[in-house]
Chains A and B, each alone.
Chain A
């Protein structure tokens, strides 16, 4: 509730929306910050000089709308992590794509031999499920099973929630899925990367607003968004590694 009043006050002060432009930083305000949790598996991998990260997700992991494959957020994340851990090889595998649900992710996790064991799994969920109106409890069950599998393999996990957009918010019943993701993450003692709140904050401050960006500039804005997301994620991962030390 406090959050709402704080947001109310903050937006009241800034009621003239800032102009979108490259000058506005995509900051991570304290009230949207995910508190880090120790990532022991990741720390161990960093110390052994090879960090394998598995990204599970739906459309956004493949970088649609960006100017090139190097501009997707997993690719930007690799660059950001490489900068933070210069002596470690960062290996990011991306599994997922348009219309892929947590049930598909679970099937992927089950075929254990299909990929080299990651030290860290970034699991993005909740969008396709909400859009298709999948039973939130079915999503919960699939994720609980998947998380259990990841835990047994000794990997760390960070859960990533939906993208924010006015269209998604207005036309899907997204709240039940966001609530479930919060609970699922808390139950697995995994950090929840609050992409939805972050993106909303960036829209409110005018840092990145895809829906109000003219079509010719949209590729550049998408790149910027992916970079912002990747940096915030890299920060969260680095904090988790520090906490595990």
Chain B
């Protein structure tokens, strides 16, 4: 297939990179409990958060990287690239798990918690080390904060068969919606070691990933459903969904007196909005944000080219190293906040994390340009990885 049938030389959409960079940064902030910036991230103002954005944009980037490759070289090479990617993610996950375990051990020793936190069985590693290791390798043991990479691994693995259907977008999205509905109705989830299922059920979250994939396909001109066109009614709808989410979140989280004045039916409904299998409201919230950004933030406008947006765009362009390094950073940041959490440390932690993330992105960008392998002389599309 030549580059004429499907235009592969699409210019990268800076908006997607910026949003992805912002999501990556928010994930690091949200992974450091006790960080004051955690009160300002998306999850405080909407019924969806950075994880949703990250997963959707992973699908979007997947369309450019792998559907693009499949169009140019066929399914098998694209599938092979995906397998390589999945193994890389798996290795990164296991590495982060080892670091996390060391961090828990370190802070347990540093805080001498034995006396009153004895109900905490945070370290199955201490009790059943061999079994825990096995369960971790099987992804059936996922400690707190290490649940996004396993989700990402499964989603990319699902993309391998899904690439075969890239020419039939309606079928693909119908399968995806059915799987989501089925998982929600039956409670089907991948198993966890001790009890229950994954914190992020991949069978539910795949819908967001494939929605992003569809938008990516449309953006590069491949057969797809794409974002609905700009219509006043849809804009009003999106604003209503986000406005309602914003109003109840602010009332319940930040203005207790207002929150108590709400009829109990509202918190009662919100209590049932689950993150595990991607509640429809969380999906709608993410789609609304996507629609509004897609139609109302100009692709080459002032915002996207601003100095402030540039570091985030750079981070979004190199999401894997930035994500993994970010999780690593969040471990360090947690130890820093554990030692002290007044404003000097808050400033230090956040400046350190942000600067480190930006540096990683810049170094990754530099090494991609300078350490290129000859094979990339092939007519590649924008490397959206």
Residues of A participating in the B interface, judged by any CB pair closer than 8 Å: 1-4, 7-8, 11-12, 15, 17, 35, 37, 58-60, 64-65, 98-99, 127-128, 131-138, 140, 144, 163, 165-176, 179-180, 182-184, 186-189, 204, 210-211, 215, 218, 222
Contacts and interface: CB of A to CB of B under 8 A. Distances in A.
A133 B144 contact: yes
A137 B33 contact: no
Contact of B33 (A163, A169, A179, A184): A169
B274 A137 contact: yes
A160 to B, nearest CB: 15
A165 B113 CA distance: 9
A11 B34 CA distance: 14
B276 A137 contact: yes
Given A59-B118, A127-B119, A133-B144, A211 B113 contact: yes
A222 B116 contact: yes
B306 interface: no
Nearest to A138: B196
Contacts of B36: 4, 7-8
7 contacts: A1-B40, A4-B39, A131-B122, A169-B34, A173-B145, A179-B253, A187-B267
Contacts of B103: 171
A202 to B, nearest CB: 14
Q: In this complex, which of B118, B143, B271, B334 has the most chain A Cβ atoms within 10 angstroms of its Cβ?
A: B271
Contact of B252 (A2, A58, A173, A183): A183
A215 B119 CA distance: 18
Interface string B268-286: 1011101110000000000
Given A17-B342, A99-B121, A170-B334, A135 B196 contact: yes
Interface stretch (B58-66, B91-99, B257-265, B293-301): B257-265
Contact of B338 (A134, A138, A166): A166
Interface string B171-200: 000000000000000000000101111010
A170 B252 contact: no
B271 A171 contact: no
A170 B259 contact: no
Contact of A1 (B39, B256, B342): B39
Given A59-B119, A166-B338, A170-B33, A182 B252 contact: yes
A35 B272 contact: no
B122 A186 contact: no
Contacts of B107: 166-167, 170-171
Contact of B111 (A128, A134, A167): A167
A173 B275 CA distance: 14
Nearest to B198: A135
B343 A12 contact: yes
Given A137-B272, A187-B264, A2 B254 contact: yes
Nearest to B193: A133
A25 B262 CA distance: 34
B108 interface: yes
A12 to B, nearest CB: 5
What are the 10 tightest A-B residue pairs by CB atom distance, in nearest-first order?
Answer: A59-B119, A186-B267, A187-B268, A173-B144, A183-B271, A65-B116, A187-B267, A170-B334, A137-B274, A4-B39
Interface of B: 30, 33-34, 36, 38-40, 44, 103-104, 107-108, 111-113, 115-122, 142-145, 192, 194-197, 199, 252-254, 256-257, 259-260, 262, 264-265, 267-268, 270-272, 274-276, 334-335, 337-338, 341-344, 346
B39 to A, nearest CB: 4
A42 B111 CA distance: 40
Contacts of A189: 264
A215 B254 contact: no
A128 B144 contact: no
Q: In this complex, which of B38, B44, B268 has the most chain A Cβ atoms within 10 angstroms of its Cβ?
A: B268
B116 A210 contact: yes
Nearest to B346: A8
B213 to A, nearest CB: 27
B110 to A, nearest CB: 9
Given A138-B196, A167-B117, A186-B252, 10 more contacts: A8-B343, A64-B115, A64-B116, A131-B119, A140-B271, A167-B113, A183-B268, A184-B271, A186-B262, A189-B264
Contacts of B112: 211, 215
Contacts of A3: 39, 254
B120 A168 contact: yes
B343 A58 contact: no
B349 to A, nearest CB: 12
Nearest to B196: A135
Nearest to A33: B256
A166 B108 CA distance: 10
B275 A170 contact: no
A144 B271 contact: yes
Q: In this complex, which of B194, B197, B264 has the most chain A Cβ atoms within 10 angstroms of its Cβ?
A: B264
Given A15-B344, A188-B264, A168 B117 contact: yes
Q: In this complex, which of B117, B143, B257, B267 has the most chain A Cβ atoms within 10 angstroms of its Cβ?
A: B117
B201 to A, nearest CB: 10
